[in-house]
């Protein structure tokens, strides 16, 4: 993941969630000592999996080179990246911890539990059918792990403090791409029962239920990422255009992502209005990515 991309997404997440007026980004990097959050809790797919797939049987593994070449110590950690992931940077900028450990990592300390962990799994999705191919941990199972985490946290700090930590935690959720790639476009399992609009609504219903469950368990501050330009993923361009010279972004898939994102943003606004004392926001991953794809010279100027 390019450094510029990492920082763009970090600033988008932070500016949206920290409840600071527009133009806040210049002050965020110095806000660690006064963090509004007690912990960072992470759900989703490979974009935020800090190493859970190391501990399960799956074809999706990030525990080998070239992964990790820019991570401290230059070692692969299970992150699907050359270095740290967005949750790691966010936790660091907020002054919570340098990196967010995976929940399945053996020997987590009480400090690790108190400051947050990642439940995410590379290859995962909101649709349980998605992980049949990847062998990853579906979001529904990640929720079950979260319940285990809550019990371990209660055992470590007591019920009252555990409730405060969870209520004050920044919950990051990033998933959805694998659902469309593995269930609709490339392996058309769900196309046998849904058209694209219906499948979008099916996934959004799963997200709505997931948000409700997290709220019942005490979470109050959630940021949920939308889809990237899926049609610009190398695998999608390769499958659609056989000749290298012909390859370009698959515009209908990008349009699907934009429509889904609009629906997601609307849904999250509605859920926040329904759930008292919640802050549930949409994080736009589409626009900064498509801007870099269309204007790569901007990235080069900042490297």
CATH of the domain at 240: 3.40.50
pLDDT in tens, the chain (303 residues): 444 454 445 444 454 444 444 444 434 333 445 568 999 999 999 999 999 999 999 998 999 999 989 899 899 998 989 999 999 999 998 899 999 999 999 999 999 999 999 999 999 999 999 999 889 999 999 999 999 999 999 999 999 999 999 999 999 999 999 999 999 999 889 999 999 999 999 999 999 999 999 999 999 999 999 999 999 988 888 887 777 777 888 899 999 999 999 999 999 999 999 999 999 999 998 988 888 888 887 665 555
83 part of a folded domain: yes
The domain in which residue 86 lies consists of 41-298
69 part of a folded domain: yes
Q: What is the chain's alpha carbon radius of gyration, rounded to the nearest angstrom? A: 19
303 part of a folded domain: no
Spatial separation of the C-alpha atoms in residues 30 and 39, rounded to whole Å = 17
The continuous run of DSSP H or E covering 173 comes out as strand 170-174
Question: Residue with structure tokens 């997404």?
Answer: 9
13 part of a folded domain: no
Q: How many domains does the chain have?
A: 1
CA-closest candidate to residue 181, choices 141, 124, 223:
124
Spatial separation of the C-alpha atoms in residues 93 and 99, rounded to whole Å = 10
Q: Can you read off the two tokens belonging to residue 37?
A: 């959050």
193 part of a folded domain: yes
10 part of a folded domain: no
Three-class DSSP labels, 71-115: CCCCCCCCCCCCCCCHHHHHHHHCCCCCCCCECCCCCCCHHHHHH
179 part of a folded domain: yes
**Beta pairing partners, 221:** 170, 279
255 part of a folded domain: yes
């Amino acid at each position: 993941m390019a450094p510029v991309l990492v920082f763009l997404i970090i600033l988008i997440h932070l500016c949206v969630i920290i409840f600071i007026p527009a133009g806040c980004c210049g002050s965020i990097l110095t806000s660690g000592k006064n963090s509004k959050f007690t912990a960072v809790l992470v759900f989703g797919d490979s974009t935020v999996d800090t190493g859970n797939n190391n501990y399960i049987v799956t074809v999706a593994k990030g525990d080998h080179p070239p992964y990790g070449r820019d991570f401290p110590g230059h070692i692969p950690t299970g992150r699907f990246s050359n270095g740290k992931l967005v949750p790691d940077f966010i936790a660091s900028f907020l002054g919570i911890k340098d990196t967010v450990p995976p929940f399945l990592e053996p020997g987590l300390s009480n400090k690790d539990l108190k400051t947050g962990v990642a439940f995410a799994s590379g290859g995962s999705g909101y649709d349980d059918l998605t992980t049949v191919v990847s062998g990853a941990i579906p979001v529904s199972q990640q929720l079950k792990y979260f319940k285990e985490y809550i019990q371990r946290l209660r055992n470590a700090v007591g019920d009252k403090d555990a409730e405060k930590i969870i209520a004050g935690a920044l919950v990051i959720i990033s998933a959805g791409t694998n659902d469309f790639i593995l269930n609709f476009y490339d392996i058309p399992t769900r196309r046998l029962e849904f058209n694209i609009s219906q499948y979008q609504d099916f996934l959004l219903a799963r997200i709505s239920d997931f948000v409700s469950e997290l709220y019942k368990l005490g979470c109050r501050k959630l940021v949920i990422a939308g889809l990237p330009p899926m049609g610009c993923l190398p695998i999608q361009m390769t499958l659609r255009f056989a000749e290298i010279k012909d390859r370009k972004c698959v515009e209908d898939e990008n349009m699907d992502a934009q429509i889904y994102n609009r629906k997601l943003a609307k849904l999250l606004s509605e859920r926040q209005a329904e759930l008292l004392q919640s802050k549930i926001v949409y994080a736009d991953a589409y626009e900064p990515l498509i801007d870099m794809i269309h204007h790569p010279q901007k990235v080069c100027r900042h490297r």
